[in-house]
Structure 1
């Protein structure tokens, strides 16, 4: 049955099928000529799909939309979508991606182009592959030129390097309880800040010492072990339901990227009160990774904890607590000063309190 136009109200709709692919959708236009143009384009696309499969007609823009809907991060995707959004996936080439990356970041290091262009692009591509919209490809990432001894001097930025746990404990002790809980979780899980702030209580099982990240950087869910220290105080937050971590007024935190977002004010305040300037939300992730290496944890176990492992078997067991990972995370040290923080014993009672010298309140004074 060929596709025909039918009017409903002021808008034209498409009805019919092309080679057994049914169509029943709005053209979203009221003009009949424009609606007929939509019909012609739709018929052609469906004919191509019926012959060559979805990979022949899906665009990068459609893949991005599906990737975001599945929980993928939108970070750095805007320029990629603007450049490749209308391209069919099968028409995007390695040379095209390389050329765009050089144009977008002409003076950037290979590491920057990799992080801000290739990584988000490949995440979307892999999502499209999973949906059957694109073929598996081994995309080449930029590399440092070989045979050079040039050392690039970079400006120091907090969060790029690990800190020892005694130093982290001092910093956290100068924070209000609500953001201190978030930072403590980051230092004892290795989660990305954006993952921690999106955690739902329903995805945390204190008794099994396991949590599930539904929205990760790669768009795939993953399981993360809970350190025994977190299990000492997380239960009341889990029992409350909803978002696991909330601000002092009970509001959700905004997404955190690098040193900003919902924790920016709390981080800046703790820096002033502690005199420690090299800690940001991402410091916890770097510290977990480094400390696990120091503790002799196998690289495969470390990568699974941090979400670097991307094999299908790891994803298959997302909801199954894995003893080796739990034992590994428990090797992270817990300074006495951290365990002695007053909110540890009653996190819900202390959540709305503010650090000494914050605003007009001194709730942390005893």
Structure 2
């Protein structure tokens, strides 16, 4: 039978109730306006009829798939955000109502050119192609779309081809001695987080949401149920990090926290949560080319230098999303653990003053911060 408009006792809002080709429906219209509710009824009935006749794969739209991806734990960054004017923006808004079925590489590239006409290749990949592919992969896993390899923009080639851009910290690797000088000038809490970044290659957002239940210290393995790309992945723990995780996981809950013990907030600017600590370390050391994302580039580069196979490196960094990778998310893999352990640890990193008791010293501040202990010492 067709859908009907009904009102529940004690509520002014209208609801849709009925059965469309065997599917029971009871949906809130979110409005008390009868005319608006009737318009929604007609659209929903047509959508459900189209879906049951042609199948979910031929009817689901990108914004519907994006909503499902976000609901499953995927990042909404560049997909669905609220702009400065209070209106929603992002790829899900641009592709609202666009069906996944039949969507082509040509259409994707045209949209990228329209939205990012002057952007560099890396910016397009990060802000456009990566979130699009994450949603598509989630839809494919749910059976709503075919598995498909979407092409990324090509990198410039040749000695005469250059991309002119302002240098930005975090866009290039560094060496571990240099990084140790920088991290050693931070308070323990952010220093511990930066240490984990430099010896796992994880994304900052992944460490900010890391819970003690995800860390298997004896087997040297971290399991993320949902990563940035919306798929679970396993991460090997460097032997150097074992005492750190053993200590911090004792309190349960969020592994890495602010000096006062609160979990780091999850914001759009992943890595910006320790901006104050980063700026402080820059002032103390004069080093300005280290940031949270520097660690990921450094791990990737060091693994290549150490001769680690590209497939193993990509597994560690979470770049591989094939079925076999997902199947072994929860299972510690020795080749990955051996590979991460090829990264050598500078002695200066091992001798940082908080290393003997990470949990007990996590609330301390580096001299010269907080209540300005440096000034008190001068007065004394």
**Residues 36 and 83 of structure 1: CA distance in aligned 2, closer, same or farther (over 3 Å):** same
CA contact (8 A) 2:91 2:132 kept: yes
Shift of 1:148: 8.1
**Residues 145 and 46 of structure 1: CA distance in aligned 2, closer, same or farther (over 3 Å):** same
CA contact (8 A) 1:5 1:35 kept: yes
* Equivalent residue number for residue 190 of structure 1: 201
**Residues 299 and 91 of structure 1: CA distance in aligned 2, closer, same or farther (over 3 Å):** closer
Q: What RMSD over aligned residues (CA atoms) do the two structures have, in Å? A: 2.1
**Counterpart Cα distance in 2 of 1:66 and 1:293:** 36
* Equivalent residue number for residue 23 of structure 1: 25
TM-score (structure 1 length as normaliser): 0.93
1:199 partnered with 2:210: yes
CA contact (8 A) 1:204 1:210 kept: yes
1:112 partnered with 2:116: no
**Counterpart Cα distance in 2 of 1:258 and 1:33:** 42
CA contact (8 A) 2:120 2:163 kept: no
* Equivalent residue number for residue 2 of structure 1: 2
Shift of 1:139: 2.6
1:267 partnered with 2:278: yes
**Counterpart Cα distance in 1 of 2:284 and 2:203:** 25
Shift of 1:73: 1.7
**Counterpart Cα distance in 1 of 2:245 and 2:100:** 44
Shift of 1:249: 1.0
TM-score (structure 2 length as normaliser): 0.90
1:294 partnered with 2:310: no
Secondary structure in 2 matching 1:341:
coil
CA contact (8 A) 1:193 1:257 kept: no
Shift of 1:156: 1.6
Shift of 1:147: 7.1
1:356 partnered with 2:358: no
1:322 partnered with 2:333: yes
**Counterpart Cα distance in 2 of 1:248 and 1:95:** 49
Secondary structure in 1 matching 2:26:
strand
CA contact (8 A) 1:256 1:263 kept: no
**Residues 37 and 255 of structure 1: CA distance in aligned 2, closer, same or farther (over 3 Å):** closer
1:129 partnered with 2:140: yes
* Equivalent residue number for residue 222 of structure 1: 233
**Counterpart Cα distance in 1 of 2:289 and 2:224:** 27
Alignment of structure 1 residues 1-366 onto 2, 5 Å: 1-8=1-8, 9-77=11-79, 78-90=89-101, 92-144=103-155, 149-255=160-266, 260-362=271-373
CA contact (8 A) 2:60 2:144 kept: yes
Give the unaligned 5+ runs of structure 1. none
Secondary structure in 2 matching 1:217:
coil
Tell me the alpha carbon deviations over residues 151-201 of structure 1, each in whole angstroms, 9 at most, x when there is no partner. Answer: 233222211221111111111110000000000000110001111111001
* Equivalent residue number for residue 83 of structure 2: none
CA contact (8 A) 2:204 2:271 kept: no
Shift of 1:231: 0.4
**Residues 335 and 265 of structure 1: CA distance in aligned 2, closer, same or farther (over 3 Å):** same
CA contact (8 A) 1:354 1:362 kept: no
CA contact (8 A) 1:227 1:330 kept: yes
**Number of aligned pairs?**
364
Shift of 1:258: 7.0
**Counterpart Cα distance in 2 of 1:277 and 1:299:** 30
Shift of 1:257: 6.7
Shift of 1:263: 1.1
Tell me the alpha carbon deviations over residues 258-296 of structure 1, each in whole angstroms, 9 at most, x when there is no partner. Answer: 785111110111111112111000111111111111111
Give the unaligned 5+ runs of structure 2. 80-88
**Counterpart Cα distance in 2 of 1:3 and 1:315:** 40
Secondary structure in 2 matching 1:15:
strand
